[in-house]
Amino acid sequence: MNYVILEKAEKPISKEQLQKIIDKFVPFCKKYLKLKSVPEIKFVGSEKAKEIKSFGQHEGDEIRLKVDDRHPMDVLRTLAHELSHHKQDEEGKESGNSHMNDKRENEANKVAGIICRKFAHSHSDLFKLGSVE
């Protein structure tokens, strides 16, 4: 197969720039999900990334996100997924096994996709950004 690059990738963004985007995204998610609370959100750099087996992790009142070398919209999708798990916890839904066919995981994937599409509708400029450095 032949692939054609249509546009040159934008220059990377900093973690500080990503934080500003997340500061807009979290209230959007909180309203959409009707969250009672928002967990603390921590960025995990490449040194500690091995401790997390996926792109994000939600445990109690903390969400950890791998951010290095990821596009901001990809990070937001992971954050929406983890916030969906937080909502599930608030509602007392039974914890799943984190496998792809798990009902809880499928629901979080579905909700995260919806949230990101709705957010991107009024923030389409985010697609033009480079990855997080």
What CATH number does residue 89 fall under? 3.30.2010
Question: Does residue 7 sit within a domain?
Answer: no
How do residues 17-54 score in pLDDT, each as one tens digit?
Answer: 999 999 999 999 999 999 999 999 998 876 665 666 78
Q: Is 64 helix (H, G, I), strand (E, B) or coil?
A: strand
pLDDT at position 96 is 60
Instruction: Please check whether residue 60 lies inside any domain of the structure.
Output: yes
| Displacement of CA 34 from its chain's centroid (Å) | 17
| Model confidence at 101: pLDDT above 80 | no
Asked if residue 61 is part of any domain, the answer here is: yes
pLDDT surpassing 60 at residue 6: no
Q: Say which amino acid occupies 92.
A: G
Is 8 within the bounds of a domain? no
Domain presence at residue 1: no
Domain that holds residue 58: 15-128
Task: Kindly indicate the confidence band of residue 125, based on its pLDDT and cuts at 50, 70 and 90.
Answer: confident
Q: Which tokens hold the place of 124? A: 């389409």
d(CA 113, CA 79): 11
Kindly state the tokens that stand for 68: 């290095």
* Nearest Cα residue to 32 out of 80, 82, 94: 80
Domain membership of residue 71 (yes or no) is yes
pLDDT at 122 over 70: yes
Sequence-separated (6 or more) residues with CB below 8 Å from residue 91? none
Is the pTM for the entire model greater than 0.75?
A: yes
* Domain count across the chain: 1
